[in-house]
Structure 1
Amino acid sequence: MTSSSDTDFTLKDESPSSSQSRQDLESNKQNEQDTQLYPADALSTPRQILFVGTLCTAMFTNQVGLGNTLTTVGIIGESFGITNSGQLSWLIAGYSLTIGTFILIGGRLGDEFGNKRLFVIGMAWYSLWSLVAGLSIYSSHVLFVFARVFQGMGPALTLPNGLAILGRSYSPGPKKNMSFVWFGGAAPLGAIAGFTFGGLFALVWWPWIYWSQAIALACVAAFAAWAIPPIPVDPNEKPRTKWERVERLDLAGGLTGVTALVLFNFAWNQAVVFPILPLSAFNSDIAFVFVCTATGWACFGIWVFYIGQIAVNIRGNTPIQMAAWFVPVIPVGLVSALAVGKLLGKVPASWIMVVGQVAYLTGSIIAATFQPNSTYWTFFFFSVLIITVGMDTSFPSATIIFSNAVPQQYQGMGASIVMTVVNYSISLGLGFAGTVETNINHGGVTKDDKLLGYRRALWLSVGLAGLGLVFSLIFVAKGHWKRGSKN
């Protein structure tokens, strides 16, 4: 027979155990929900490498599309009978213009209809128009420009949706930060691949630059369909019909915004961001990052085009030599990416942004004073070295700030904003620089006249980098003032 005291003792003894069991169940349930919401956290290391590597092909192939034309634009233009600098720059600017203009819509489409689906479609679309770009040899430069413009719609789908998949698959923390860093770090690798293979295929027949690209992109599209796991749906998000999703796209705003961006850029190359992201996602910090990213990447676009023009048209370098001259971006880019990945979370992203702006400014000054008769190991080498640091510090820090600023269901749009700024700024910067060049070079008849125009364009990049540095320092000071006022 059990006494009352024994019963009380038994109940009291079992109570903590029951409480612990309930806590364990709740903890396991929370971990299961986190795994479902952020599936990449639970993947094995080899599987994560495959997953992130597949998504990094978006940035890699985007830069291949820029690099394979930058150093061969003269050869391509010559086959079509084009020698005017303004027309030649359009062969490059049209590609970046399309990416920067349509990337917001690409991100929103992914958020509404599936980021993975739009990523694969983007790769397939990019492959198709790369094929057409090569076939334009049998037509005219009009078809080539048309194909380049439509090529840009491929990265306009893959870039924001690749970043959105990373943002939705990893919980906030070091893994998510590093995935964004590697995404940005793929840019210099892609640029070098573009320079190298563009130069090699140009030695045989330039259409193979784009036909080989089409084959590779088709393979990537097929592989991505298998390698990227299903993206989880936010359990708090209400199911919507396809018509409701279409209504949420704000097609009227998208149409007017795209038209404005295209016409403004076209005017500069041949001489706003619309309400697709909720206004509540914007604040003054994002506005500063917006300006810093825009000035930095506009500076980069001018730098990479005009330092190449000096080396090719004044110094006489071949496309293969140019690929070799840009090789330092690979080790420097990898080291910068690793460094930024380790620093993010320990050092404010605003300070990393300042480092990027200083690199853009310093590298641009070296390029603007580049002496064509100097050895590689002076101006050109150090300019490439320093500008690469600018690329691989400004992009990850901006991406992290934007990604953390928007809810999970808007990751595609948040990524779109960053990539819009990057690509549209490159295109618009080239338009500004082309205007400066053609109004300074006295028609570009002699090498001295050409060099004068190139230098003035590069000094414009110095001014843009300086403006970005000023804004980045104001951004840092603003952060210190806000923390001080709270204390």
Structure 2
Amino acid sequence: MWLRSEALGLIEESDSNIIMFKKKREEGMFHIGGLSPTREILMLFTICSAQGMVQASLAQGFLPGIMIGEAFGAESTDIAWYPAAYALTSGAFMLAFGRVGDIVGHKRLFVAAWGWFSVWALLAGISVYSGSQVFFDICRACQGIAAAALVPSALAILGTVYKPGPRKNLAFSLYASGAPIGFTLGAVFSAMLAQLATWPWVFYINAIACLMYEGLAYLFVPNIGRKPSSTREPFDYLGTSTIISGLVLFNFAWNRAPETGWASAQCITTLIIGLLLIAAFFPLEKRTAHAIVPVAKIDRDAAWILLVEGLGWSSFGILCYYAINFVIRLRGDTMLSAAAQLSPVPPAGIAASILTSNLLTRGVKPPVILAFSLIWFCVGNIILATMPVHQTYWRNVFWAYLLSPFGMDMSFPAGTIMLSNLVPVEGQGIAASLIATVVYYSQSLGLGIAGVVEVNVANGSVLEGYRGALYLGVGLSGFGFIVGVGYAMRCMRQNKTNPGSNESAEDPQPTPPLAASSEQP
């Protein structure tokens, strides 16, 4: 009996030690409790898949674009709208959805976004029977609205679940790896379905996949980030409508200019009104108690981060669109062949994510990683801008696709972690929406500016037009690298003069420059 009681006591002590160990583990890595390893894995899979699906849906506008344009009898300049309409709304609406997620709950928004995504993917496929390209563009824009809700809610969930540290760095790096993997899978399946079946099936399969992810999100993403009804703040409808209208009109002008020209009243009017609305947004937000973006509290660090991200990702949108069109239109490759050429992207993206996580764990500062990432955007555009029309895939396109994912999967987690660490837990939606808005909106804006360059330098040559657009990508990413290096040097100088300062956005402890102090978790 004595031995039995001793054994039972040891077992109970062991169980209590295990429970205490688990609690300490959760306290050290998570802001929430009760997250088992299995649920954490399934949660990460669902959230990383959101990034993958967003990029896969973007690829669906690139690969079968020519075939879709033929179905609607569209002009060649209209084809750029298939990815641009999606990227435009996904960028313009992210600021609003970041705030919505903070109010209604990030999980609720995340689950609802999957359902919205599924509906409009289905309608995009059905649009073939309408014969209306305008309706198809509307469906693509509404898919972009779903992406605008998915991205900031996914990032806010990660920022709310994980405490600053290696685990959080790994989670954001895995999320970033979803971009190249998702884009490649989206390109391969859209090419295969469009070439071997019909292009509407690209969107039908998309709708089915989104429904499946909606179920996974409902089951495995924890309920976090929702404020009690008594503490919810009013939504800034005036500021939201002002900035969304301004961003849409400004981007619309750039994307319509290649077809109508800058002399058209359509472009001039939308450009001017868009600029006026964007300019009006900032004084409006400073006077609003519950601003969608607390402009008065945005410090210089956030502005530097967003500028570098915008320059890099605008060049990435140019790289994607013109690389695919180059091999299809100028080299005469099939869609399946063009999709197969993207095969280096997923392993390169995974390698870049692992490298970024290791660099962060070893103490390399995020501003340094952000600056270094711009090199790979620049190198990818240089390779494509200078390659001959008739040359083996292994001498140019392969290396562009192998190296450019390092720009994606180093810049996105570095910028996201830096901005996430600038805000408290309850303001993660604001941080997520800011970085995601710049990343996705800049891709659409970059395509619009590149289209203007293409039309004006082509002189009747498709090749010269493409080269001009790609050289613009070189300039944008090159300038971004210079700005990023300047910001990294500024951070290092601040660390030397004031080692305890959080101003450099490198300190893992969140400080509240971007979030209203009245907010409660």
**TM-score, length of structure 2 as denominator length:** 0.82
Q: Distance in 1 between matches of 2:364 and 2:69?
A: 46
Matched, 1:255 2:267: no
Q: Distance in 1 between matches of 2:223 and 2:97?
A: 19
2:59 maps to what in 1? 67
Matched, 1:312 2:328: yes
Q: Distance in 2 between matches of 1:75 and 1:431?
A: 21
Q: Distance in 2 between matches of 1:36 and 1:109?
A: 26
Name the SS for the 1:377 alignment partner: helix
Residues 90-239 of structure 1: matches in 2 within 5 Å?
A: 90-139=81-130, 140-203=132-195, 204-231=197-224, 239=228
Q: Distance in 2 between matches of 1:191 and 1:115?
A: 24
1:370 maps to what in 2? 387
Q: Distance in 2 between matches of 1:33 and 1:240?
A: 28
Equivalent position to 1:350, from 349, 367, 370:
367
Matched, 1:384 2:384: no
Equivalent position to 1:339, from 355, 362, 379:
355
Q: 2:317, 2:444 within 8 Å by CA — same for their partners in 1?
A: yes
Q: Distance in 2 between matches of 1:268 and 1:36?
A: 45
Name the SS for the 2:374 alignment partner: helix
Deviations 1:137-163 (A, max 9, x none): 011111100100011111111110011
User: Following TM superposition, by how much is the alpha carbon of 1:199 offset from its aligned partner in structure 2, in angstroms?
Assistant: 0.6
User: Following TM superposition, by how much is the alpha carbon of 1:34 offset from its aligned partner in structure 2, in angstroms?
Assistant: 4.3
**Greater mean deviation of Cα atoms: 302-311 or 476-485:** 476-485
Deviations 1:428-464 (A, max 9, x none): 000000011111223x4xxxx0011000000000000
Equivalent position to 2:488, from 466, 476, 484:
476
Q: Distance in 2 between matches of 1:141 and 1:33?
A: 51
Q: 1:37, 1:232 within 8 Å by CA — same for their partners in 2?
A: no
1:452 maps to what in 2? 464
Q: 2:159, 2:425 within 8 Å by CA — same for their partners in 1?
A: yes
Equivalent position to 1:269, from 242, 248, 255:
255
Alpha-carbon distance change, 298 to 32 in structure 1, aligned in 2, over 3 angstroms? closer
Q: Distance in 2 between matches of 1:33 and 1:458?
A: 47
Matched, 1:428 2:445: yes
| Aligned residue pair count | 448
**Greater mean deviation of Cα atoms: 289-298 or 353-362:** 353-362
Q: Distance in 2 between matches of 1:77 and 1:138?
A: 14
- The alignment-based identity, stated in percent, is 38
2:504 maps to what in 1? none
User: Following TM superposition, by how much is the alpha carbon of 1:386 offset from its aligned partner in structure 2, in angstroms?
Assistant: 1.2
Alpha-carbon distance change, 71 to 36 in structure 1, aligned in 2, over 3 angstroms? closer
Name the SS for the 2:80 alignment partner: helix
Deviations 1:3-54 (A, max 9, x none): xxxxxxxxxxxxxxxxxxxxx9xx99x96994897226x5333332111111
Over the residues paired in the alignment, what is the CA RMSD in angstroms? 2.2
Q: Distance in 1 between matches of 2:173 and 2:28?
A: 22
1:245 maps to what in 2? 232
Q: 2:225, 2:426 within 8 Å by CA — same for their partners in 1?
A: no
Deviations 1:286-313 (A, max 9, x none): 2111111000000000011011111110
User: Which runs of no fewer than 5 residues in structure 1 stay unpaired?
Assistant: 1-23
Q: Distance in 1 between matches of 2:229 and 2:294?
A: 18
Q: Distance in 1 between matches of 2:32 and 2:247?
A: 37
Name the SS for the 2:394 alignment partner: coil
Q: Distance in 2 between matches of 1:107 and 1:146?
A: 22
User: Aligned letter for 2:158?
Assistant: L
User: Aligned letter for 1:393?
Assistant: M
Q: Distance in 2 between matches of 1:33 and 1:88?
A: 49
1:419 maps to what in 2? 436
User: Following TM superposition, by how much is the alpha carbon of 1:246 offset from its aligned partner in structure 2, in angstroms?
Assistant: 6.0
1:6 maps to what in 2? none
User: Following TM superposition, by how much is the alpha carbon of 1:84 offset from its aligned partner in structure 2, in angstroms?
Assistant: 2.2
User: Which runs of no fewer than 5 residues in structure 2 stay unpaired?
Assistant: 1-16, 258-277, 286-291, 500-521
User: Aligned letter for 1:353?
Assistant: L
User: Following TM superposition, by how much is the alpha carbon of 1:58 offset from its aligned partner in structure 2, in angstroms?
Assistant: 1.3
Alpha-carbon distance change, 232 to 194 in structure 1, aligned in 2, over 3 angstroms? closer
User: Following TM superposition, by how much is the alpha carbon of 1:281 offset from its aligned partner in structure 2, in angstroms?
Assistant: 4.6
User: Following TM superposition, by how much is the alpha carbon of 1:202 offset from its aligned partner in structure 2, in angstroms?
Assistant: 0.4
**TM-score, length of structure 1 as denominator length:** 0.88
User: Following TM superposition, by how much is the alpha carbon of 1:325 offset from its aligned partner in structure 2, in angstroms?
Assistant: 0.4
1:3 maps to what in 2? none
Q: 2:26, 2:32 within 8 Å by CA — same for their partners in 1?
A: no
Q: Distance in 1 between matches of 2:478 and 2:29?
A: 45
